[in-house]
Structure 1
Amino acid sequence: MTVQFDGLSRENISYCEQLIRPYIRRTPIFEIDPSDVGVSAGKLLLKLELMQRSGSFKARGAFANLLTRDIPKAGVAAATGGNHGAAVAYAAMQLKIPAKIFVPTVSSPSKIERIRSYGADLVVEGDRYADALVASENWVRKSDALPVHAFDQDQTILGQGSIGVELQEQAADIETLLVSVGGGGLIAGVAAWYAGRIKVIGVEPAASPTLTKALEAGRPTDAEAGGVAADSLAPRRVGDRVYPIVQKYVDGVVLVTDDAIVASQKALWERLRIVAEPGGAAAFAALLSGTYKPSKGERVGVIISGGNTTAVNFT
């Protein structure tokens, strides 16, 4: 039976967190010496969502959708750059629900393979996420499957907000949290949970500045959709449901270059032995590049949000 939510409140986030708890991992935090990565801060910790089921935080929103909505005989459908599709495919496999996933050609081979490994029906359509979204919408109209949006849906945002519930319990003293931004479901969920009690900073690629453009325009608007993290952080525009939460609770947004993102990936691996995809490493790139500079003594958290990559080849 469909659960009716009365908004993106802390109470609803807490409800979703308890509901999805049996199906997801409580991902660890990793506190490091800021000087080990050349950062000046009072405290630096990483929330390792790359260790989440299906390889990213997206599993949270996927289970929140499938556990609170009526599922038709046709199952579910999702458009994705990769991680959301993997999450929906994984959740559907666990709950024995048919799933059809639409990805663009820009989606990485590792993500396509993960989706297939979960038994979903995979369709490659168009060059960018927006193309896959149109194809999925056409399929939904034809089949009556349930659409599961990657970011602009209450259940998705509430599920992603469960990260905030965990992080508050694991590290109650952080003052600032850096969050990668694509369509904005993650930052909206986390910001809605903290509701102004800490500083939340969005980090997005300069090559796909969806939230930056929206804030400049005063509303969600089309932006460029490219760059090294295009398979996870380039949906063309930030979500309509996301935007008012960001306006209310997010303290700022910074941009990072593709070079900074790649350098962040390398630093995570070479210094900390953490393997993150470009989108998952973007928030950390803001610290390493100096795009975000903590004040002296500032206690900073960073969400490392995805690990679906072939960046490291083991031999």
Structure 2
Amino acid sequence: MTTVGRVPRLYRSDVRAARRRLGRHVRVTPVCHTEVAGPHGPVAVSLKFEYLQHGGTFKVRGSLNALLASGNDERPVVVASGGNAGIAAALACAILGRSCTVVVPESAPHTKVAAIWAYGAEVLWHGTTYGEATRYAEELAVERGALQLHAYGLPEVVAGAGTIGLEIERQVRARPPVLVPVGGGALVAGIAAALGLRGRVIGVEPAGAPTLNAALAAGRPVDVHINSIASDALGATRIGDLAMEIAQRYAVGSVLVSDDAISMAREYLWREFRIVVEPAGATALAAIQSGAYVPEPGERPVVVLSGANTDLTTF
């Protein structure tokens, strides 16, 4: 890893180091080669079942990698989260025997807050948005002398998420495009860094939360208004600087999908595969089913199903 200006540059070697560091702390999640309904008939895809990860979220990879990389640092941990990053931090701290405080906005889903509690973390509510919770978490970390984790801004978090890309490389032949849901950008950036110039990564975002799409159009990270059913997981108002640098370096694409398309993809996964995911977890599949992304002839894209933390009564 090097630094250009104020933004670190993350490479495949950093992701490989994260994989060695994580070892057996995380699951190698399976891939299923199948067909799904598309707008004009069946579409061949490979579904990456990352929703089966510990804690029901890919974010455990990043949180654990960041804590393991901190070496002998035994300070308590503070993190702001809309839900999944808090679950990941709480679980990582439980595994490593460290105390954890998660600051959540008032809009955080009760299902996710309950999971954070279940892993032994302290939960504090502050503000109505993720941004407000983040600012309070920063103050709290200074006040308590704590180590502050970030949902998507730390190189170690991005590298940990990128280990999914290394798994896909071993599980899927050739170099198919990989469709990845985008919030703050850790997952899409990590996978792009893992696959490098030979890979092709497409970020998929709700039209009501277009952080990557707006940033690519502007040529820099910009603030966006958030209004989506997936906002508890894809609710960052701005793409991370590190994610933006990687997206530009590796020509990461971006497509937008509607909330209706996300809901339909989520319901389809349950109806046809008995797979339960949260809206964010179905966002990448929504691109295939809605026609926002159309595979080339003979192409079988990989679709990352990223998280399963949801209220079952919403189906």
Normalising by structure 2, we get a TM-score of: 0.94
1:34–1:278 CA distance, 2 compared to 1 (3 A): closer
- Residues 174 and 301 in structure 1, CA contact (< 8 A), matched pair in contact too: no
* 2:224 alignment partner in structure 1: 223
**Counterpart Cα distance in 1 of 2:41 and 2:129:** 35
* 1:137 alignment partner in structure 2: 138
* 1:25 alignment partner in structure 2: 27
What letter corresponds to residue 223 of structure 1 in structure 2? V
1:81-120 pair list within 5 angstroms: 81-120=82-121
Matched, 1:293 2:294: yes
**Counterpart Cα distance in 1 of 2:40 and 2:305:** 18
Shifted more, 129-138 versus 5-14: the winner is 5-14
**Counterpart Cα distance in 1 of 2:261 and 2:154:** 31
**Counterpart Cα distance in 1 of 2:179 and 2:73:** 38
Shifted more, 28-37 versus 250-259: the winner is 28-37
- Residues 184 and 236 in structure 2, CA contact (< 8 A), matched pair in contact too: yes
* 2:211 alignment partner in structure 1: 210
**Counterpart Cα distance in 2 of 1:37 and 1:24:** 36
Q: 1:95: how far off?
A: 0.4
Q: 1:169: how far off?
A: 0.5
What letter corresponds to residue 22 of structure 1 in structure 2? R
* 1:160 alignment partner in structure 2: 161
- Residues 226 and 235 in structure 2, CA contact (< 8 A), matched pair in contact too: yes
1:225-266 alpha-carbon deviations (Å, 9 max, x no partner): 221011010110000111010011144101111111111110
Matched, 1:177 2:178: yes
- Residues 116 and 123 in structure 2, CA contact (< 8 A), matched pair in contact too: yes
Give the 4+ runs in structure 1 shifted more than 3 A: 34-41, 70-74, 311-314
What letter corresponds to residue 24 of structure 1 in structure 2? V
Q: 1:69: how far off?
A: 0.9
3-state DSSP class of the match of 1:299?
coil
Which residue, 2, 8, 11 being the options, matches 1:9?
11
**Counterpart Cα distance in 2 of 1:313 and 1:200:** 30
Q: 1:217: how far off?
A: 1.5
What letter corresponds to residue 301 of structure 1 in structure 2? V
- Residues 181 and 204 in structure 1, CA contact (< 8 A), matched pair in contact too: yes
- Residues 39 and 290 in structure 2, CA contact (< 8 A), matched pair in contact too: no
1:279–1:35 CA distance, 2 compared to 1 (3 A): closer
1:32–1:46 CA distance, 2 compared to 1 (3 A): same
3-state DSSP class of the match of 1:33?
strand
**Counterpart Cα distance in 2 of 1:197 and 1:126:** 42
3-state DSSP class of the match of 1:119?
coil
- Residues 173 and 299 in structure 1, CA contact (< 8 A), matched pair in contact too: no
* 2:246 alignment partner in structure 1: 245
- Residues 36 and 289 in structure 2, CA contact (< 8 A), matched pair in contact too: no
Gaps of 5+ in 1: none
Matched, 1:254 2:242: no
Q: 1:39: how far off?
A: 5.0
What letter corresponds to residue 150 of structure 1 in structure 2? A
- Residues 32 and 48 in structure 2, CA contact (< 8 A), matched pair in contact too: yes
* Equivalent residues, number: 309
Shifted more, 29-38 versus 269-278: the winner is 29-38
Q: 1:127: how far off?
A: 1.5
3-state DSSP class of the match of 1:292?
coil
* 2:236 alignment partner in structure 1: 235
Shifted more, 53-62 versus 195-204: the winner is 195-204
**Counterpart Cα distance in 1 of 2:33 and 2:220:** 37
1:14-68 alpha-carbon deviations (Å, 9 max, x no partner): 1111110221011011111245896554x31110110000111001001100100
1:57–1:38 CA distance, 2 compared to 1 (3 A): farther
Normalising by structure 1, we get a TM-score of: 0.94
3-state DSSP class of the match of 1:297?
coil
What letter corresponds to residue 266 of structure 1 in structure 2? E
